[in-house]
Structures are given as C-alpha cells and as structure tokens.
C-alpha cells in the first residue's frame, strides 16, 4: 500500500510543479536559482527524452500506456520480493503517468529543471523514472542476495 502512496505522491508533486511553471513562466523563460549552475527554465517538450520522436504524439501515448500496463502487471506478479522492486516500479509507473497526463492534456510535457552540467531540461516525473530505473538495476544486481539473506534470517 505504501508503494501506491509513493506513486500518488510523485504524480501529485509532478503535476503541481508543472502547473506552477505553466502558470508563472513563459515558455523559454529561465529563473536563476543557483547562478547559471541551476535554473528553472520553462520548456514544452513534444518528444521523448532529449526531444527524440518530436511530433509523434500517438506513439508517445501508446508506448507509455503499454509500458505502464506491463509495469503494473509485473508489479503485482512479483509479490513478496524485496522493497527495491516495489519502490522502483512505483517510481517508474508514477513518472510515466505524470508525463502521460501532460501529453494527453496539453500535447507536450512541461520540463523545468535546468542544470548547466546536464544538457536536457527535465521534470519531477523524469526524476521518478530515472530513480526507479536505477533502483531496478540495483534490484536486478542484488535481489537474489537480498532474498537469500532475508530467507536465512527467518529460517
């Protein structure tokens, strides 16, 4: 249940930050937060990561819907696994839902976090997907060890 809460919280935070940016900034406007190192920059992205597939709205809606459905299936199919699996899929699903909401409602995804050392501008949903993927990789690499350790602790 807490993983559903995590997902709902991420989607809410994502939508709140995007709405605030859309309401208070013009597209292309930047507000320095930490000099030129970190700025809030209002970008509307009609593509996927790094603006690839720009203008392919149908593809960018259908593929995430399929991915989210698969992730939900996988999430429920692997009950009893390590917390990193549930946390990773919650973040990935929530990030996908957050960006999908934008695509369906506005035709583009609102991005705002702009670091000078990292070229793409991104949003809270992107942070969720990236963090979720990193956690899932950690689970794939370490999950069997964690499961064995968990089973030996209670034997």
| pLDDT 10s digits, 28-87 | 999 999 998 999 999 998 766 655 556 666 777 788 788 888 878 877 787 777 888 889
Q: Identify the DSSP state of 27.
A: T
Q: Identify the DSSP state of 82.
A: -
Asked if residue 151 has pLDDT above 80, the reply is: no
Q: What percent of the chain has pLDDT over 70?
A: 85
Mean of pLDDT over the chain: 86
Q: What stretch of H or E contains 106?
A: helix 83-106
Report the pLDDT averaged over residues 20-26: 98
Report the pLDDT averaged over residues 81-99: 89
- Report the catalytic residues: 111, 126
| Of the candidate ranges 13-17, 23-27, 53-57, 122-126, the one whose mean pLDDT is the lowest | 53-57
10 Å Cβ neighbour count for 47?
Answer: 15
In three-state secondary structure terms, 113 is: strand
Q: Which of residues 15 and 63 earns the better pLDDT score?
A: 15
Asked if residue 155 has pLDDT above 50, the reply is: no
Under 8 Å CB-to-CB from 55, ≥6 apart: which residues?
46, 47
């Amino acid at each position: 249940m807490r993983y559903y809460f995590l997902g709902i919280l991420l989607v809410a935070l994502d939508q709140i930050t995007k709405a605030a940016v859309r309401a208070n900034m013009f597209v292309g406007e930047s507000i320095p937060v930490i000099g030129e190192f970190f700025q809030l920059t209002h970008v509307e992205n009609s593509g996927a990561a790094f603006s690839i597939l720009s203008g392919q709205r149908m593809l960018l809606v259908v593929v995430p819907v399929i991915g989210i459905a698969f992730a939900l299936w996988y999430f429920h199919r692997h009950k009893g696994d390590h917390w990193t699996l549930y946390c990773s899929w919650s973040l990935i699903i929530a990030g996908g839902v957050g960006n999908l909401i934008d695509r369906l409602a506005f035709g583009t995804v609102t991005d705002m976090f702009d670091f000078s050392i990292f070229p793409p501008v991104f949003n809270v949903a992107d942070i969720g997907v990236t963090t979720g993927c990193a956690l899932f990789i950690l689970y794939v690499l370490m999950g069997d060890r964690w499961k064995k350790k968990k089973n030996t602790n209670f034997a």
